[in-house]
Amino acid sequence: MTSYDDFARTPGGAILMNGSLLRDEIVAGIRAEIDALGNPAVCLATVLVGSDEPSRIYVRAKHKKAAEAGLVSRNIELRETATQGEVEAAVQDLVDDVDVHGILVQLPLPGGLDPEPVIDLIPPEKDVDGLTERSMGRLVRGRPGHVGCTPRGVMALLRRYGVETSGRRAVVIGRSTLVGLPQVLLLGRKGCDTTVTLAHSRTTDLAGVCREADIIVAAAGMARLVTADFVKPGAAVVDVGVSRTESGIVGDVDFAAVQEIAGAITPMPGGTGPMTIASLLENTLDAARLLGAVPA
Ligand code: NAP
């Protein structure tokens, strides 16, 4: 086990919570587990509709890492003009296919398509994105099921880099069902035991609220929203946001300024993005276990 002193640090002295390194550790661990099980065909299926370039890049990255982890993967591609019925039929085929263990529908769908009935088709065992009502319900009830990939990845980063959570205060910025809400539930649940504040666009004095926190998870999608004056000295700062600006992809955290004050910080890129993929692969192996395709 790496000691706290062994972690790489930023120029300002914060521990760098390196998601690419941790993803590689997780991928290698899944590969070893699949090998030890005699190489069962654990299968992740993705559904990609239309030609949105970032979505295509995300899906390609997921398949590349799935292959490295020893998983089998399938990508169902539908054209931009696919009807609601065609998308639902493609997902239903994967639901019915006993050789498919995890299903991920890449969002957003092209305009005119309603994602809700599509997502609703996925049974909780195969819902490796943790997005359906039943998966969210299981998370709330503390029952076994899949947790959204990004919040799961954030929890793994905090654990791996020795960030104390019990009795600490956290602020999650953003209340989406994809990131913010499940993140609040994970941080606040028994065993993690953080006291959590959920902040959003109507929060007054966001900087003051964040300054109270030992852990900040920024998932607002607002470029460099979290500046140095948001951060208590020594706090852990996790950047989830992704904004495409003229100067490239930018996170929610002003990294250069915040790393001078924080005790630990994620880079962007190389923080939560790779961890989202790692968690998807972990969820897929869990799905095969839940479905009885590999031993629990
Ligand atoms: P979303 O559905 O648009 O939710 C954004 C949330 O942030 C909303 O709750 C919104 O508040 C809040 N917010 C917006 N501006 C704010 C401000 N100025 N101050 C405080 N709160 C503010 O987005 P999402 O799907 O959760 O994604 C959030 C970001 O994470 C996006 O940039 C997305 O691209 C990125 N993302 C990254 C990964 C990854 O792997 N790193 C994965 C998923 C998403 P209201 O509810 O009041 O509107």
pLDDT tens-digit series, residues 62-116 = 999 999 999 999 999 999 999 999 999 999 999 999 999 999 999 999 999 999 9
Strand pairing of 264-265 and 236-239? parallel
pLDDT of residue 103: 98
Query: How far does the centroid of ligand 1 lie from the alpha carbon of residue 35, in Å?
Result: 38
Is residue 215 lining ligand 1, measured as CB closer than 6 Å?
no
Catalytic residue numbers read 62, 106, 129
Is residue 274 lining ligand 1, measured as CB closer than 6 Å?
no
Atom of ligand 1 at shortest range from CA of 239: 41
Q: Which two tokens stand for residue 293?
A: 């395709």
pLDDT of residue 6: 77
The mean of the pLDDT values for the chain is: 96
pLDDT of residue 247: 85
Q: How far apart are CA 87 and CA 102, in angstroms?
A: 17
pLDDT of residue 194: 98
Query: Average of pLDDT values for 26-51?
Result: 98
All structural domains of the chain, each given as residue ranges with its CATH number in brackets, are 38-124 (3.40.50.10860), 149-273 (3.40.50.720)
Q: How far apart are CA 291 and CA 296, in angstroms?
A: 9
Is residue 267 lining ligand 1, measured as CB closer than 6 Å?
no
The answer to whether the CB of 160 falls within 8 A of the CB of 154 is no
In angstroms, what is the C-alpha Rg of the chain? 19
Asked whether residue 5 carries a pLDDT value surpassing 70, the answer given is no
Using a pLDDT cut of 90, give the percent of the chain over it: 96
This prediction has a pTM of: 0.97
How many Cα atoms occupy the beta-carbon half-sphere of 239 within 13 Å?
A: 32
For a ligand 1 pocket test, name from 175, 184, 250, 253 the mutation site with the most ligand atoms within 8 angstroms of its C-beta.
Answer: 175
Asked whether residue 1 carries a pLDDT value surpassing 60, the answer given is no
Is residue 217 lining ligand 1, measured as CB closer than 6 Å?
no
Using a pLDDT cut of 70, give the percent of the chain over it: 98
Query: Average of pLDDT values for 50-57?
Result: 94
pLDDT of residue 296: 86
Strand pairing of 43-49 and 72-78? parallel
